[in-house]
Each structure stands twice: as structure tokens, then as C-alpha cells.
Amino acid sequence: MPVKLPKFESPYGQMLTVCGQLKFEDPQKGIPPVKERVATYQSGKALVIGQIGGKSGRHLHIDCALKSYMPKRRTPKATHKRADITDIIHSAIDLEMEAGIVGHFKLPLGDLPENGFVRALIPEKKAVDMSIRMTGGSFALSGVPIKKMEWRLVEDEQLILVRLVGEQTVIVSEGYLIEMWEWINRQCSQFILVERRDG
């Protein structure tokens, strides 16, 4: 089966990173290292970046992102075909990984609920002749799969950039990136848009 890559079709999602140490039954085993490969997909609108290696030969790192989200002067150029990236994933199929999952989102400020984590912090505070207004912040969370939440206002404070960092035990499969993309989007709905969790 072909490896599936996330499609950036939601109005908010911009980038997904899934990385971690692969677990092998034989601790002496590893996967031959592969240097960074970059390919385009989704009709050239998105990039996928993959590599495997590290000192242990067990670190699998995959980034998927909209090209429009990447800094213009630092957007990596395609070096390989999509199949060359998915070959990296195929080499790790059925292996378990303690994965870090990072999702980047861009949302209109008006889409955030007034009583949400972020919006509640933004109103201006005044003291004597001075006013203070938060334009960004970082939260550490415990007791939930999301461990860190960062946000900042951009574009005349009409948009908010959000970075969510979570952890999951993952079995690498042809569809694991889709599963992780859907998962991190649900976390955005729950923690940023404060929508009710369906389970």
C-alpha cells in the first residue's frame, strides 16, 4: 500500500512534524541512515521532508507543510521525488515509536472563542498611564496528551499562529501521518477553538 501524506484542506492547519525513536526487538538493529530528502506533493502546494538516522540509527523525522507557511528565504527546495520520501517510511513500517507530534496552525483572531485559553489573555490591561497587552505566550500542560502550546499574534494582530506539541505512542504504518494529522487537529479544536471533544 502507498504511504499517505496529510492533505492541508482545513482552513487552519499549516504544518505537521512527527518524529521519534523507533523501537526494535533486537537492540543492536537499526535502519540504514538516510540524509534529509525533500519533495513536493498536493500539486506542488506542500512539502514533505524526511530523514532517518541520528547517532542510534533509529530516529525517524518527517515534516509535512504548506509551502506558503515556510519562510520564503528558507523554504527548502525539492531534492527528491515523493516516492523517495515514502521509501523512508516503508523501511520503518510496523515499528513502534514514542513520537513527538507538532502541529502549526494559523487562525483568524475572530474565530477564537472569547472564553478560550488564548483570547481571554489578549484584552488590554491599564495601570496608571501604562497599558499592557499580551501578543504571544507559551503554556506547559500536564494530564493531557498536549504538553506545550505556543501562540503569537501576527499581521496587525488579525491572525494568530499556534504551535501545539504533543506525545503519542505510534505504530508506523502507511497511514500513520494521516492519523497524527487528524489527532493534532482535534487537539487544536479542543484547546484553541474550545470545541467539545467527541472522544
pLDDT digits (tens, 9 = 90+) for 70-92: 988 888 999 999 999 998 898 88
Write down the pLDDT at residue 29.
67
Write down the pLDDT at residue 25.
77
Three-state DSSP state, 6: coil
Q: Which amino acid is at 95?
A: L
User: How far apart, in whole angstroms, are the C-alpha atoms of residue 67 and residue 44?
Assistant: 8
User: How far apart, in whole angstroms, are the C-alpha atoms of residue 42 and residue 82?
Assistant: 10
User: How far apart, in whole angstroms, are the C-alpha atoms of residue 174 and residue 86?
Assistant: 9
Q: H-helix or E-strand containing 141?
A: none
Which whole number is the average pLDDT over 39-53? 91
Predicted TM-score (pTM) of this structure: 0.89
Write down the pLDDT at residue 27.
64
Three-state DSSP state, 40: strand
pLDDT in tens, 123-147: 777 777 888 878 888 989 999 899 9
Residues, the chain: 199
Tell me the CB-side half-sphere exposure of residue 70, using CA atoms within 13 A.
18
Q: For the beta carbon of residue 114, count every other beta carbon within 10 angstroms.
A: 9
Q: For residues 103 and 164, is the Cβ–Cβ distance under 8 A?
A: yes
Instruction: Please give the backbone phi and psi of residue 107, each rounded to the nearest 5 degrees, phi first.
Output: -130, 140
**Grid coordinates of 82:** 515523493
- 40, β-bridge pairs: 47
Instruction: Please give the backbone phi and psi of residue 35, each rounded to the nearest 5 degrees, phi first.
Output: -70, 165
Which whole number is the average pLDDT over 46-71? 88
Q: For residues 65 and 6, is the Cβ–Cβ distance under 8 A?
A: no
pLDDT in tens, 13-37: 999 999 999 988 776 666 778 899 9
Three-state DSSP state, 74: helix
- The torsion angle over the Cα atoms of residues 138, 47, 159 and 101, rounded to 10 degrees, is -30
